[in-house]
Amino acid sequence: MSYVGPDFDPPQPRRPRRGPLTVALAALVPGALLGWLVYEAVGGSGGSSGAVSTASASTSAGSPAGSSAPPATASGRGTPTADAKRPAPGRSTTAPAASGALRGKVVVIDPGHNPGNVRHTAEINRQVDIGTNKKECDTTGTSTNAGYSEARFTLDVAHRLRAILERQGATVKLTHDGDSPPWGPCVDERARIGNTAHADAAISIHADGSAAGNRGFHVILPAAVHAGAADTRPITAASRDLGERVAGNFVRVTGEPPSNYVGDGTGLVTRQDLGGLNLSTVPKVFIECGNMRDSKDAALLTSGTWRQKAAQGISEGIVSFLRES
């Protein structure tokens, strides 16, 4: 998701020195970050030594990474039609496996945005209460310069992640799946789905839309918010633990570096302006897997091989968290 849009405030300029988050992540995953540095030194990240082909693999949803699709566009502000009906959130639920390390655990995966949002701008522009203030229901998300949309990326990674977690016995629910519902859900509904499921862990998958040259992933943690319907105080510590484990495993498995434009090199950012985090009552984080507007990151994000690595890295962070919870 781009920082230039209704669901994100512009990031603050990087501080000249690293804060306490650097110590937290470094203490958790020193081997992972060191491994990335060695990996970079001997041949680069994400697979081959050059740019990864945008048509290297098909998505698990059945559409090839290189197939044509209209680029996601910035959603304009507007007023929803008076008779617009909000469809029920799509929930992909499967029974847990008979055995596995995660049997009895519930994970909610929230694929950022929805491919249908571009056709429902009036509906997604309606305001919803996120506790600290009001925001648009949802946005269209960003895309690569070649038109591969964030919504397609997040759904593909969500499918891959679901398959990995289900093989280990988890019950996995998606906030939406394909065209069900045809747009949204709104950010408050996305949080409510995880809350209603009593998820042991929830994660929202995104990709950023920052300036070219800005590279890397970052995990967004909920700030301690107590305003209106939002009260994240009971989940901030567990969410931080989840986020640190996801960040450490993501860098180790994918080779994608921590963001060079937010987070002071830690791969961790704390925010209080996201409804999906503010309204959550279960441990939850967002992950921005890379910057779609940077050519090097875009080459990774459009590779099916790399998206499988992304799903694996996220899953290993979640598994590590659930085994300790």
Residue range 86-128, pLDDT digits in tens:
444 444 444 444 468 999 999 999 999 999 999 999 999 999 9
DSSP string, 49-102: SSPPPTTSSB-TTS-BTTS--PPP-PPPP----TTPPPPPPP-EE-PPPSS-TT
Q: What is the model's pLDDT at position 179?
A: 82
Give the strand pairing for 201-208 and 106-111: parallel
Q: What percent of the chain has pLDDT over 90?
A: 68
In CATH, which superfamily holds the domain spanning 20-45+91-324? Zn-dependent exopeptidases (3.40.630.40)
d(CA 296, CA 292): 9
145 three-class SS: coil
Helix ranges restricted to H, 85-199: 121-124, 150-167, 187-196
Region of 297 please: left (phi>0), alpha (psi -120 to 50) or beta: alpha
Task: Say what the pTM is.
Answer: 0.74
Give the strand pairing for 127-129 and 134-136: antiparallel
pLDDT of residue 264 exceeding 90: yes
- Comparing 240 with 29, the larger pLDDT belongs to 240
Q: What is the model's pLDDT at position 99?
A: 66
pLDDT of residue 41 exceeding 60: no
Q: How far is CA 98 from the centre of its chain?
A: 29
Burial class (CB in 10 A: 0-12, 13-18, 19+), 301: buried
Overall average pLDDT of the 238-267 stretch: 98
pLDDT grade for 12, boundaries at 50, 70 and 90: very low
Q: What is the model's pLDDT at position 19?
A: 44
pLDDT of residue 76 exceeding 90: no
pLDDT of residue 77 exceeding 60: no
Enclosing H/E stretch for 201: strand 201-208
pLDDT tens digit sequence for 194-216 = 999 999 999 999 999 999 999 99
Q: What is the model's pLDDT at position 75?
A: 34
d(CA 58, CA 146): 17
Overall average pLDDT of the 159-168 stretch: 98
Q: Where are the domains of the chain?
A: 20-45+91-324
| Active-site annotation, residues | 288
Overall average pLDDT of the 75-84 stretch: 34
pLDDT grade for 325, boundaries at 50, 70 and 90: confident
Q: What is the model's pLDDT at position 188?
A: 98
Q: What is the model's pLDDT at position 81?
A: 33
